[in-house]
Amino acid sequence: MQQLVAYLAENIILDFQGDLSLDTVREFLKDDKSPFARNLIARLVADGSADDMMICLADCLQDYIKSGINPDTIHEQVRLYAEA
């Protein structure tokens, strides 16, 4: 059983429900004047969409499934994406 659980934990796929458009991100961040928000918007505009961010975020958050995913973890991963 332990090997099965280990296998499942290592191969779990994290995904987000629905699409997240660049316009939706802009709407969420419209009142946020922080450098972080500006960097994120600039990165997403350069990418042309939020698709790459969502894929990257899902991949990075998989590392936190065992210890727990919380808003601080997500914030940090989005910040790292924007700065990359």
Per-residue pLDDT of the chain (84 residues; tens, 9 = 90+): 788 878 877 888 888 888 899 999 999 999 999 999 999 999 999 999 999 999 999 989 988 887 888 889 999 999 999 998
> How many other CB atoms are there within 10 angstroms of residue 46's CB atom?
8
Range of the domain at 12: 2-83
Q: How far apart are CA 16 and CA 23, in angstroms?
A: 17
Count of domains observed in the chain: 1
pLDDT, residue 45, reads: 96
Residue 16: strand, helix, or coil = coil
